[in-house]
Chains A and B, each alone.
Chain A
């Protein structure tokens, strides 16, 4: 089974500074990776996803992530953050799940990174 490790539980930064949120996944032949954002008291929203092809993936709100197969990483970056980027960020991998007489796929999440942007 796949697993995801988010290396930092909290990342405090000042407004307009660059930020990197780190994510490592367990190795696999094929891997599909996602970053979701959760603003306070809201559901999860997809930021970006890596399915195949270019290892640099661009998402919404100026975020991007780089897939690195040799280091099994999928770090999220933004060159200049805003106060409004304060949120919890989740890295996830899509994996097969096998219940009794039923197989499917589901997202397996990391424990999350809280990004706090201050002025």
Chain B
């Protein structure tokens, strides 16, 4: 049972380059999320999705775009990477409701130089 899988695990980008982070879950979860983790800041919500074909902005959405074309996949795009986007990115998924457990991927460590 794979759970939540993120690819790639590591990436170095030059300023201005673009890339897409892929998140895949095999638990048939409706909700999916992208967070970024920075030292001393905890995890902050970038974008989320409550179902296939729908996305919405979280706390820190600027500079990112997302798509949820298939229920099991949630893509996070950086169109023009900036050094401020150097971070560890986590994807998570869960079922609807405030009382459900979220499952997290292993993270993607992104460095923008």
What is the size, in residues, of chain B's interface with A at 8 Å between Cβ atoms? 29
Within 8 A of B (CB), among A83-107: 90, 94-97, 99-100, 102-107
B14 lies within 8 A of chain A by Cβ: no
**Given known A-B contacts A43-B90, A102-B50, A51 and B99 have beta carbons under 8 A apart:** yes
Interchain CB contact under 8 A, A97 and B42: no
Describe A's contact surface by its main secondary structure: strand
Task: Report A26 CB to chain B, min CB distance, Å.
Answer: 15
Interchain CB contact under 8 A, A32 and B98: yes
Chain A's interface size range is 20 to 34
A9 lies within 8 A of chain B by Cβ: yes
Task: Report B26 CB to chain A, min CB distance, Å.
Answer: 15
**Partner-contacting stretch, out of A12-20, A66-74, A109-117:** A109-117
**Given known A-B contacts A97-B48, A99-B57, A100-B56, A90 and B99 have beta carbons under 8 A apart:** no
Chain A interfacial positions (CB closer than 8 Å to B): 6, 9, 30, 32, 34, 36, 42-46, 49, 51, 90, 94-97, 99-100, 102-112
